[in-house]
Amino acid sequence: MDVLSKFLDFLLTNYQSKHTVNSYFMDVCQFIEYKKTYIVSEQDINAYILFLSKSKKSPLTIKRKLSALSVFYDFLKRSGIYNFNLSGIVRPKSPKSLPKFLDIDETIVFLEKINSLRDKAIISLLYSSALRVSELVNLNIEDINFSNKTIVITRKGNKQMGVPVSPKTIDILKNYIGDRINGPIFLNKSGHRLTTRSIENIVKKYARKSLLKDISPHTLRHSRATHLLNNGMDLRILQRFLGHSSILATQVYTHLSLQDLIKAYDAFHPLNKND
Positions marked catalytic: 132, 156, 218, 221, 244, 253
DSSP codes joined into one string, 212-232: S----HHHHHHHHHHHHHHTT
Distance CA 68, CA 90 (A): 15
Distance CA 33, CA 83 (A): 20
Distance CA 198, CA 196 (A): 5
DSSP codes joined into one string, 157-176: GG-EEEEE--HHHHHHHHHH
Distance CA 78, CA 186 (A): 59
Distance CA 267, CA 261 (A): 10
Distance CA 149, CA 133 (A): 20
